[in-house]
Amino acid sequence: MPVSYRQYLDKNGLKGARIGVFRQLCTPKNSDPQVYALFNKALDELRAAGATVIDSVRVPELDTINKSFDTIPQLRRDFNVYLANLGPNAPHKSLTSIIKSRQFHPSIEKTLEDSDKDTLAPEAHKGWGKNMALRERLRTLFLRAMDSTGVDALVYPSFSYPPRLLGDLNTPSGTNNNALSPPTGFPAFTVPMGFTYNDLPAGLQFFGRPFSEPTLIRLCYAYEQATHHRHPPESTPVLPRKKRK
């Protein structure tokens, strides 16, 4: 493991890189037109920065496999493990404590309460073994697709639709940022690729092989430096920079 990932910040890191386009997560039928147009513009920006863009890389079995996963609650266990590692001064020590505090948006109340009721360990659910086998199948398929096309990473929009307002559960979310990385365990980074409808941000996600964080950092940093799409939200003041010792 490197002492610091800063050594991989290379503004010329896209030169000679091979980037695969994973269009299964972004087509005209399942995307907002402005997000789709922005994604295609991002591909041109990758090319302009020196990358070879392979359009498109496919994993035909992805939809079938994703539909085969059993839903196994893990939120309670994951929340409690995370909170336990925050130290003695953390305001909450468990998901139950968060629910009792009422310090969350009403739209997620049922999800939190249902998760807290399921006290069975995720590994004890009968579908756990099947899910692990499906996960391994996905890992194999993505490695095969990336190796056969010789790409360093895959790209797709983090969301295929603009951000929804808090509590809006009706308009499409188009969530892609949990489509590949969580079920495979492979790393993924998201960087800004511009704005839709004047001020609604959109992200470009880079997905890589296991332990390819150095490669992803190099590619993402180079894209950020070539485009400078991000601008601070108007509602958030600029944070003062700490002086290095």
Instruction: Match 């499409």 to its residue by tokens.
Output: 172
- Domain 5-68+128-227 listed as CATH 3.90.1300.10: yes
pTM of the predicted structure, to 2 decimals: 0.88
Model confidence pLDDT, tens digit, residues 44-68? 999 999 999 999 899 999 999 999 9
What backbone torsions phi and psi does residue 198 show, to the nearest 5 degrees?
A: 75, -50
Give pLDDT, residue 24.
Answer: 94
Q: Which residues contact 170 (CB under 8 A, 6 or more apart)?
A: none
Rounded Cα gap, residues 194 and 31, in angstroms? 16
Amino acid making up residue 1? M
- Could you tell me if 109 and 27 are in contact, meaning their C-beta atoms sit under 8 angstroms apart? no
Q: In the beta sheet, which residues pair with residue 206?
A: 155, 189
Question: Tokens representing 87?
Answer: 């130290």
Rounded Cα gap, residues 181 and 178, in angstroms? 6
User: Which parts of the chain have pLDDT scores under 70?
Assistant: 1, 242-245
Extended strands (E) in the chain: 18-21, 52-55, 153-157, 188-196, 200-207
- Domain ranges in the chain are 5-68+128-227, 75-124
Give pLDDT, residue 245.
Answer: 56
Give pLDDT, residue 244.
Answer: 59
Residue 207 falls in which region: left (phi positive, over 0), alpha (psi -120 to 50) or beta:
beta
